[in-house]
Structure 1
Amino acid sequence: MFQSIEAFKQTWTFESGSTQKLLDVLTDESLKQQVAENHRTLGELAWHIVTSHHEMLSRTGLKFDAPAMDSPVPASAAEIAAAYRQSSQGLLEALSAQWTDASLQESCDMYGEQWTNSQTLYAVAAHEIHHRGQMTILMRQAGLRVSGVYGPSLEEWEAFAEGGVS
């Protein structure tokens, strides 16, 4: 869990940057990619990531501008990427303005359990990492290039091995 707002901000800056790189590669056509019938499309999954920041953190009382969880999935990949950029930045700005390190130890109801704000921030990041991994599978199925996160992707590794820059 996070012991300071600054520790979360450092983690979030890296993780949200990695997510943003993936979202920026999406195309309008790729948003329809689905692993199987009755599963989220790539667009639905990407939009879920965008809207979940606000949905989870609004339960703590943190206020920032972001699309609502029940808002319709945009048909435009660029709109999804832009909404994520706004939501992610809004989250960081709200934390700086509305919380202190002491706020991290405050508890609130989170899906029927009592979580500290620190736990909630961790869950927001982990939730995004989980769904980002799902996105990369759908992106590959859609023929999109996937960027590395915790190391190089296959394409980046191949370019590196060939002496190229990716």
Structure 2
Amino acid sequence: MILKHWLQEFEQESNNTRKLLQSVPQKDLSYRPSDISWTMGELAQHIATIYYWYVGTLTQDVYDIAADHLERGSPNDIKETLTLFENNVKKARAALASLTEEELSDEWTMKVGSKVVLGPLPREIVARSFLFNHIYHHRGEMIVYLRATGNKVPGLYGPTYEDSMSSN
């Protein structure tokens, strides 16, 4: 039953992520709110990349992220990032659809080479935190970047503040 709901959430939230990434302007990709922050382009690319991690997380018991090479393109080209996003969403959707309820309780581990960086944890916990919630967290950051650069933020869960002000 949880997978049915996750698939619905995945579709709804992928659409929201798409709206957000489509609102990122090419002209502001180099914006960085602080010296330790990603640029807007790097953040957009990271959001698109998380969808790629669905495959390793949902189809492998041990995911070595160092051995998995993804061609990402330039974080300075929003069109490349949108293409990366769309390709990764297709892969993520297929991985999520291939999962069974029983596999949700399987132990899962992430490694970087020989170093364990996450887990072992039940796949269900990892999917919720490392995949779904991770995307939502970075989308919130992107909204801050967009507002800080004077760009319009799309309504993800209804009208934005700006939308409500323009109707007055």
Give yes or no for TM over 0.5.
yes
Q: What amino acid sits opposite 2:103 in the alignment?
A: S
| 8 Å contact kept, 1:4–1:104 | no
- Confirm or deny: 8 A CA contact 1:55 1:68 kept in the other structure: no
CA 59–71 in structure 1, closer or farther in 2 if over 3 Å, else same: same
Residue 114 of structure 1 pairs with residue 142 of structure 2 = no
Aligned to 2:134: 127
Counting matched residue pairs gives: 155
2:84 is the counterpart of 1:78: no
Q: Is the 8 A contact 2:59 2:99 kept in 1?
A: no
3-state SS of 2:108 partner:
strand
Verify the 8 A CA contact 1:43 1:77 in the aligned structure 2: yes
Matching residue of 2:42: 44
Q: 2:8 aligns with which of 7, 10, 17?
A: 10
- Greater displacement, 103-112 / 37-46: 103-112
Cα shift at 1:74: 3.2
* 1:121-160 correspondence runs (5 A): 121-123=127-129, 124-159=131-166
Q: Per the alignment, do residues 70 and 82 of structure 1 end up closer, same or farther by CA in structure 2, a change over 3 Å counting?
A: closer
Query: In structure 2, do the counterparts of structure 1 residues 59 and 10 end up closer, same or farther at CA, with 3 Å as the change threshold?
Result: closer
**Post-superposition shift, 1:17?**
1.2
Shift of 1:137: 0.8
RMSD between aligned residues: 2.4
- Distance change (3 Å), C-alpha of 1:6 and 1:68: farther
Identity of aligned residues (%): 24
Q: CA deviation at 1:147?
A: 1.1
Cα deviation 1:29-88 (Å, max 9, x = unaligned): 11111111231111111111111233464144359xxx9468454321122122112211
CA contact (8 A) 2:21 2:82 kept: yes
Q: Which runs of 5+ in 2 are unaligned?
A: 111-116
> CA offset at residue 116 of structure 1?
1.6
CA displacement 1:121-152 (0-9 Å, x = unmatched): 21111001000000011111222210122332
Residue in 2 aligned with 1:102? 102
What SS class does the counterpart of residue 40 from structure 1 fall into? coil
Unaligned runs of 5+ in 1: none
Q: Secondary structure at the match of 1:5?
A: helix
Asked if structure 2 preserves the Cα contact closer than 8 Å seen for 1:107 and 1:116, the reply is yes
1:144 match: secondary structure? coil
Counterpart residue type for residue 9 of structure 2: T
